[in-house]
Amino acid sequence: MDARINYFGNALAGKVMRHLNSAGAIVAPALPVATQELVKIRASQINGCGFCTDMHAKEATAAGETQVRLNLVAAWREATVFSDAERAALELTEQGTRLADNPAGVTDEAWAGAAKFYDEDQLAALISLIALINAYNRINVINRQPAGDYQVGMFG
């Protein structure tokens, strides 16, 4: 499969990506790296974004994530390897990614669950991270960006 356009070589797309990446850099210090990668992987799985799933699984591995946890991200509810805080972040991620599945959006229960473990800045970071990964997913899915060739750190 080939991408529809060379998104990574397009000047306009490059400007968009720099802004998204800048927003991501603001969010990064507020949350544990493991939580960030789990959120990115789960949203990418839901959205069917192979490129982002590949990228963030590799980045998580490079950051020390275990293969067992990576294998179980899609089944996090049944897995015993995630902390309660990670579970709350994953629930918020799923509900924030699947907005069309619930006319009320994210439930009060999911929000309260996250608020038990994350302070206001961290919640702002989680909201922003979920929004950002969904934006990246949509760009790559619309463009049919192929998965599998990502190298850790290739975007700096």
C-alpha–C-alpha distance, residues 89 and 109, integer Å: 12
The helix/strand/coil state of 2 is: coil
Using pLDDT thresholds of 50, 70 and 90, give the confidence band for residue 149: very high
Which one is the CATH code of 7-143: 1.20.1440.230, 3.30.70.1290, 1.20.1290.10, 3.40.1800.10? 1.20.1290.10
46 in Cβ contact with 73 (< 8 Å) = no
**Residue 154: what pLDDT?**
83
79 in Cβ contact with 72 (< 8 Å) = yes
Return the number of other C-beta atoms located less than 10 Å from residue 58's C-beta. 18
**Residue 103: what pLDDT?**
86
What distance, in Å, lies between the first and last C-alpha atoms of the chain? Answer: 25
**Residue 104: what pLDDT?**
86
Return the number of other C-beta atoms located less than 10 Å from residue 155's C-beta. 10
Using pLDDT thresholds of 50, 70 and 90, give the confidence band for residue 107: very high
Dump pLDDT digits (tens) for 17-58: 999 999 999 999 999 999 999 999 999 999 999 999 999 999
Using pLDDT thresholds of 50, 70 and 90, give the confidence band for residue 8: confident
**Residue 156: what pLDDT?**
72
Cut 0.75: pTM above it: yes
- Residues with Cβ within 8 Å of residue 92, at least 6 apart in sequence: 106, 110, 111, 113, 114, 126, 130
Query: Is it the case that residue 133 has pLDDT exceeding 80?
Result: yes
- Tell me the Ramachandran region of residue 56: left when phi exceeds 0, alpha when psi lies from -120 to 50, beta otherwise: alpha
Mean pLDDT, rounded, for 122-130:
98
Mean pLDDT, rounded, for 62-81:
98
Domain borders along the chain are 7-143
Task: Pull the structure tokens for residue 12.
Answer: 């306009």
